Amino acid sequence: MLAPGWTSYKHHLNYQTFQVRPQLGEGENVIAVEVGEGWYCGRLGFGGGERCIYGDGIALLAQLEIEYQDGERVIIASDSSWKSSVSPISSSELYDGEAYDATLDTPGWSSRSFDDKKWTSAQNIDFPTADLNSPNGPPVRGIGYLKPCNILLSPTNKIIVDFGQNLVGRIRVKVRGPKGHKIVFKHAEVLEKGELGIRPLRICKALDTLILSGEEIEWEPKFTFHGFRYVQVDNWPTNGGTPRLEDIKAIILHTNMEETGSFECSEEMVNKLHHNIR
């Protein structure tokens, strides 16, 4: 998740390696990638943050390394022969959240049967001067999920989903509704007077939006994450505007570290505090 992570991009660029042999099929194969702004050129920092701190454009550096049984080695590298297109993700920010328009989805875009004739050729840019490094730590992964423990109605009649504890991650929803129907998800760690407590967020929106295509969709944002316990759901298309408990879950994201110790004591509130921090 969120690879390659935050580095001093002018000096260090992390790369990831993947064993893709199990994914190869007979005949033609395809490499498909989605690229987001992330820490590189998204809004970042104190006092409202700045955009494009490290650069003003997003790019991809990729290569497929093939070694045949006879020892021959072939490299297929990203260049201007690759094709690109805009995606259904109209915006995605670490602070502000992600907007996804399912009406713009292109089914099968990452499959080998997809016709990319209407896509444009990728543009070559200068090769980076930063050192290319393999990561020196484990990756961030979705390590589990939480189901809602309650769905609340606020004093101003807002639908608020309570996951029972603070976490870092994002939501995953399964929903169907009319084409063009827009759902808004607002995240916060606390409630204030029964309403979503967005005051501590200052100008961080922590807001995801989903525009439906008319077909059922299971969706979660890809290039953002939030710290939250509560999610306000505006304009849910079914069940009188209230999602069912099984329609939404929270995906927990953190570094995929091996657990090497544990803690437990006789005070349950201290145990809960430790669990939340973990």
Q: Where are the domains of the chain?
A: 140-257+264-277
pLDDT for residue 133 is more than 90:
yes
Q: Which of 159, 147, 140 lies closest to 222, judged by CA? A: 140
pLDDT given for residue 132 in this prediction: 95
Give the confidence band of 219 by pLDDT, cuts at 50, 70, 90. Answer: very high
Over range 93-115, report the average pLDDT: 93
The pTM score is 0.91
**Can you give the pLDDT at residue 277?**
82
Tokens 């395809």, residue?
30
d(C-alpha 175, C-alpha 68), whole Å: 45
Is the pLDDT assigned to residue 147 strictly greater than 90? yes
C-alpha 63/C-alpha 79 separation (Å) is 10
Q: How large a percentage of the chain has pLDDT more than 90? A: 81
pLDDT in tens, 24-47: 988 899 999 999 999 999 988 888
Architecture of domain 140-257+264-277: Sandwich (2.60)
Mean pLDDT over 227-252 rounds to 97
**How confident is residue 121, by pLDDT bands cut at 50, 70 and 90?**
very high
Q: What is the pLDDT of residues 65-82, one digit of tens each?
A: 999 999 999 999 999 999
Q: How far is Cα 95 from Cα 269, in angstroms, rounded to an integer?
A: 31
Strand 159-175 to strand 182-188: parallel, antiparallel, or no bridges (unpaired)? unpaired
**Beta strands 12-14 and 131-133, pairing class:** parallel
Least confident range from 19-23, 48-52, 235-239: namely 48-52
